[in-house]
Amino acid sequence: MLELKNISKVYKSKKRKSQALNDISVSFGESGLVCVVGESGSGKTTLLNILGLLDSPTCGELFLDGTNVNELSEKKKDEFRSNKLGFIFQDLNLVESYTVRQNLQLVSEHDDIETSHGELIELLGIGELLDKLPKEISGGQRQRVAIARALIKGSKILLCDEPTGSLDPTNARKIFETLKEISKQKLVVVVSHDVDTASKYADRIIEIENGKIVSDKLTGEEREKDRELRQEGEKEHKAIVSKRRKAKQLFGIAARYAKLKPVRFAFMSVTALLIFVMLSLLTAIASYNENSLIARTMHSQGADYFSVTKQVYGVYDETEYGVSGYIGHIKMTELEAEQLEKDFGTEADRVYTYHKGDLKSVSYDNNSHPSVPGFYSTTIQGSVELTNEFIDKYGYTLYGRLPQETNEAVLSEYAFRLFKFGGYMPDGYDKETIPINTRDDLIGKEIRVDRNSDYKSFTVVGILDTNLDYERYDFMGERLDDELKFRYSEFESVYEISPHAVLYVAENYIERLELDKNSIAHVFIKPASTVKGIKKQLAVGDLKMRDNLPPPNADNETNEYCFYKLRNEIVYGVKAVNAVFETVAKVVGIAAVVFAVILVLLILNYFSGVISDRIKDVGVLRTNGFSKWQICLLFIFEALILSAFIVVASIIFSAIVLSVGGHVFKSFFDLLFFPVSFSILQPLIIIGLQVAFSTLGILIPLIRLMRKKPVEIINAGKQ
């Protein structure tokens, strides 16, 4: 069953070498109690470690059930150690942070050990100890727990290293009596310095001196008397072989490990949480993108239009000091409008230059209201043919009716408020004003639009609410405080190309009056319904004029080209601060890298400490048949369990900080948007960093530790 042939073991160091075993050959039967005795340093423990596959011989062969163990892979050796070998160490090597029950569950396939191993627990008298920690029980009780753990695996061979060395005579006797009973069905090999006790209980005594066997003898006739009984017991035993440990069992062990060191884990968790939240904020800022911000803000605020203008850029002065140029708005043609519809994949609503002029029927001018410059403007920026489709598309609300005749028009809600503020001034009344309080007061009135002294009169038949955010801009009707100047600039920049500043005329107005369709000031585009769709639309903007479209001045040789520009309140606001955000993003990107490095070092250090604290436990697991992969998987599970809390908490707190911070930022800087947002990027960073580096923090020291022999790991754990 178990045989050693010409086994030698030499330990080498830089200065000397020491021979622990010298050409030992010995075989063991299927059962019985065999005691190996000798002085300290004689080689007893080395022999036991080689028998238990905890150490490898320098030369010689070890056969177990006819298999040359030295030729086996590490995985096969682990299987042999798991299924056929049990260990009881002099210092017991119980996991001190585990209860007796949990120590036994380490090697059991069943969590309910009272049911699955009740007879063994009763035999060893440890039933009342199951929920106690090792430090809470006596030395003799600890020895019986160690024996139980070795036997629960169903091992064929039980190897004991000085199992009674630290016990009083009474407990020592009880342990040997237990081992004697067990040896009736298993091979029990005991290393002991107590020759008298060994002589009393052993079936065979092997004496070692200076690494050699000097004596090997049987004691009494008990071995022969009980041979049949032991062999029968061995037959029964062969059916009791540990199955491969399942991931569920390893996860359960990992979960119990994860409960240890709560204070240190709490400190690490809070520190990691703070760093993750800061890192989320920094990475969100560092990943700032102008078009992404515009798209997110437009989508979240339900922006209802893009205004697309055609602009010309020309260089008029190019010197060694730089280039001077100009940018101006120019009209679009119907051909260009159709091309834009193809580019955007949606209909473009034309704003014609006709009736671009001054609304003369309102009693208001900037000079008479110097405290509110710019908000109430009498300028009409063009005309749009109003239809029900237009109203439904942009989500506007019409009070009154659609214009039907070429002398009928609909004013915007903005224009109505202008009349309400300044009053209505009919022609021929010597500037006598009529107060306008409700929309009905204005509907039916005749208004005039002056375009270069060319007056055109319309009857107001309706008021169109174009969803202007009056709550944001109403202050401009009363005052202009310094802290609100950004809102003023924001509104002023988009007013001239907004739906709030146009005159709405009858359907087919241009065609009925036979006006030139190529006089297009700009067009309105309905934004897409998704952030991704809006980003695609933004990509159409700022395009250089296509080759098939005529340049603005085909008959001259100026260096000019045209491009399209998308505008609305949100686009203006983002572009106004874009340069600052881009600069901040670059600086913050460096800070994010620094925080990431700190976080990585923290995670690696913590989980490396987890392994350092568990070196002894790793040795215990290895001697109890856990493979290297199983131990790695066990600690990976532990890392994931511990990381789960940090990841979930970090994601929640990061979302809260970015959300609350966004509201504070928008309020403080008077913006419609926050330059960063909580996106899928932040959870991915948190999960990726935590999982990757906690796993590395576990595996790097663990793999280094796994290169050692089990006995070396156990010895390292004692230091």
Least confident of 257-266, 387-396, 453-462: 257-266
Residue 409 pLDDT: 96
Residue 326 pLDDT: 54
Both tokens assigned to 97? 């942070």
- What confidence tier does 559 reach under pLDDT thresholds 50, 70, 90? low
Q: How far is CA 452 from the centre of its chain?
A: 63
Residue pair 524/383 in contact (Cβ under 8 Å)? The answer is no
Residue with the larger pLDDT of the pair 334 and 428: 334
Taking the chain, what is the end-to-end CA distance rounded to the nearest angstrom?
Answer: 35
Average pLDDT over residues 589-607: 83
* C-alpha distance from residue 459 to each of 391, 404, 432 (Å): 20, 11, 19
Residue 397, pLDDT > 90, answer yes
Residue with the larger pLDDT of the pair 220 and 274: 274
Look up the pTM and report it: 0.62
List of residues 6+ apart from 219 with CB closer than 8 A: 199, 202, 203, 204, 205
Count H helices, E strands: the chain? 26, 23
DSSP result, 565-581:
EEE-HHHHHHHHHHHHH
Average pLDDT over residues 100-118: 81
Length of the chain: 719
Residue 318 pLDDT: 53
Residue 21, SS3 per DSSP: strand
DSSP result, 293-347:
HHHHHHHHHT---EEEEEEEEEEEEEETTEEEEEEEEEPBPHHHHHHHHHHHTS-
CA dist., res. 310 & res. 521, Å (int): 8
CATH of domain 2-243: 3.40.50.300
- Are β-strands 397-400 and 357-359 bridged in parallel, bridged antiparallel, or unpaired? unpaired
Residue 365 pLDDT: 54
What is the average pLDDT value for the chain, to the nearest integer?
A: 80
Residue 354 pLDDT: 92
Residue 82 pLDDT: 79
What sections of 125-261 are H helices per DSSP?
139-152, 169-182, 195-201, 222-225, 227-237, 247-258
Q: What is the dihedral of CA 190, 193, 198, 199, to 10 degrees?
A: 140
Q: pLDDT tens across 655-666, in order?
A: 888 888 777 877
DSSP result, 364-411:
--GGG-TTSTTTS--EE--EEE--HHHHHHHT-EEEE----STTEEEE
CA dist., res. 384 & res. 506, Å (int): 8
Residue 233 pLDDT: 42
Strand partners, 28: 2
CA dist., res. 150 & res. 138, Å (int): 19
Residue 371, pLDDT > 60, answer no
CB atoms within 10 A of CB 465: 18
Q: What is the dihedral of CA 394, 397, 400, 404, to 10 degrees?
A: 10
Residue 383, pLDDT > 50, answer yes
- Every domain of the chain and the residues it spans: 2-243, 262-296+576-718, 304-349+521-567, 355-514
Residue 391, pLDDT > 50, answer yes
CA dist., res. 692 & res. 687, Å (int): 8
Residue with the larger pLDDT of the pair 71 and 320: 71
Q: pLDDT tens across 211-245, in order?
A: 999 988 887 554 454 444 444 444 443 333 344 45
Strand partners, 18: 11
CB atoms within 10 A of CB 680: 7
CB atoms within 10 A of CB 142: 23
Residue 512 pLDDT: 94
Q: pLDDT tens across 485-495, in order?
A: 677 777 777 88
Q: pLDDT tens across 299-322, in order?
A: 888 889 999 988 876 655 555 545
DSSP result, 499-533:
GGG-EEE-TTHHHHTT--TT-EEEEEEPPPSSHHH
Average pLDDT over residues 23-27: 90
Residue 159, pLDDT > 80, answer yes
